[in-house]
Amino acid sequence: MKRTCIGRICALFSLLAVLLAAGCVRIPTSEESGSAPSRTDMPAPAPAVSAIDLEHATEEQLFYIGELTEALPALLEADRELTEIFVCGRIYLEGDYGAVDPYTPFPAEEGSKYADFSAVTALFDRVFGVDGAGREEFLSYPDYGRPAVSERDGKTYITSHFMLDFTDFFVADDVQVLDINAAGASLYAVTPSGLGVRFGAVRTGSGWFLRRGTYFAYSDALREFEQAADWHASPDFATGMDEGSAKRLTGRCLIVSIFLSDPESTWSGEETARVLQMVGEGAEYLGALAASEGVELELFCTGEADSLHYRTDTVLPVDYRDFGWTGTIFDEGLEAFVLRNSDAGSYDNYCIMLHVNKQGRSYALSCNSAYYDYEMYTAERSVMYFTADNTYEYAPNVSMYMHEMLHLFGADDLYAPYLSASAAKRIEAYCPNELMRYVPVDIQETALSPYTMFRIGWRSRLDRQFAAFSD
């Protein structure tokens, strides 16, 4: 039978008193309101968690809690310094770098605290231990563009293309222990803004260390909140989103193809089959991309049997600035024509492709309440010019069909002259294969940036690296 001496019991009660006073582990009470100040677009209050009740904790748990209580303040302080360096751009902001390319790594000022990368490594070792994996998230930050901080020949190199004014740090007194043992601890804290963050610590022969940077645990918690948030309530929600017949590219969506003939042009069966093939390939690609993003999307296209054909006596223009005809050539109006001759009305969203068998630059006419005539375009449409001449500057391909279609669902052009020079450089650095700036023959070479995903309803909040595009 194992004995417990009186002296050890007294020591444990003394430790309990110290821990309660320190606040590293708290016994939640019914009076705790969790009313930390919350910022706009943040959850408040944070959800309740089940922390260790010290009155019923084992001797072993109390021992490990005592160790962690001593180590945690220094760990969080060093972790905050890492966050300020990598996330907030501290090295750049404290230096004088003049005119530099923010997207290309440049050396930290000679003689500055972190000019030698060994100083950064030492900070990593303090927070994560010598072999701790937590450093990898910092070294690959941010998600898009070149890393914020990197090493070259023993020196520290930095970029300045993305720096957050992040201040939502918590301290040791805010931390609750959810579970603890000889291997590590599961921890929880509520930030000043009211966001609940779960993170962890690991116990080694060298002491206690963090499993990962608390900023990345914070980002995960914020992302989880944002995934469940209302798209319309986003501060970046704008006109052109959730308007017209193609409100968002989610749910059951239909692309209605209408093949137009005029006194100058008509369609052969081979030509219509080629167009439908390209539209189908594009729809299949976007459907697979949506699935990889966890987005519920069934994207259908009319085929040879149910695509529409319409002949007009009006000669269809090829100048993209002359687009009034897209509604006037139909006696009953385009929307009524489509709804009468197809089942588009049974879908969550639909858009129309008006195919013209002539050389020309294709374009989209979306519904955007920022324009006085937006009600004329509630049946959102694109005009797609076709030619079999692949040497033509605007020869159609799968990417082009999907590029114009995405406009109808809210996407913006992401190339000059529709972007400023600085914004064009940003999208090139962050997502060079973005489909809204690049239309290669092979659509598999393309991608959608977080900005486009937000615009078309695939994400409820805009990634902060792309916030400049919503300004």
Q: Name the region of 392 (left: φ>0; alpha: ψ -120 to 50; beta: rest).
A: beta
**pLDDT tens sequence across 387-424:** 999 999 999 999 999 999 999 999 999 999 999 999 99
Helix (H), strand (E) at residue 30: none
Contact 242, 357 (CB under 8 A): no
For tokens 């089940």, what's the residue? 50
Buried b or exposed e, range 410-425, using 16+ CB within 10 angstroms: bbbebbeeebeeebbe
Residue-level pLDDT at 53: 82
Mean pLDDT on 284-288:
98
pLDDT at residue 42 in the model: 56
Is the model's pLDDT at 12 over the cut of 90? no
- Per residue in 216-265, pLDDT (tens digit) is 999 999 999 998 899 999 999 999 999 999 999 999 999 999 999 999 99
What's the pLDDT score for residue 1?
34
User: pLDDT digits over 49-82, tens only?
Assistant: 778 888 888 999 999 999 999 999 999 999 999 9
162-205 residue pLDDT tens: 999 999 999 999 999 999 999 999 999 999 999 999 999 999 99
Q: Which residues contact 197 (CB under 8 A, 6 or more apart)?
A: 170, 188, 189, 190, 191, 214, 217, 218, 221
The pLDDT of residue 21 is above 70:
no
- Please tell me the predicted confidence (pLDDT) of residue 25: 44
pLDDT at 18: 42
Mean predicted confidence (pLDDT) in 442-466? 97
The Cα–Cα gap between 399 and 383 comes to 15
Residue 29: band (very low, low, confident or very high) from pLDDT cuts 50, 70, 90: very low
**Confidence at residue 46, expressed as pLDDT on a 0 to 100 scale:** 64
pLDDT digits (tens, 9 = 90+) for 331-364: 999 999 999 999 999 999 999 999 999 999 999 9
Instruction: Tell me if 180 sits within 8 A of 65, measured CB to CB.
Output: yes
Predicted confidence at residue 50, as pLDDT, reads 75
CATH code assigned to 251-470: 3.40.390
Map out the domains of the chain as residue ranges: 10-28+36-227, 251-470
Q: Supply the DSSP string of 313-355, one letter for each residue.
A: SSPPP--TT--THHHHTSTT-HHHHHHHHSSGGGSSEEEEEEE
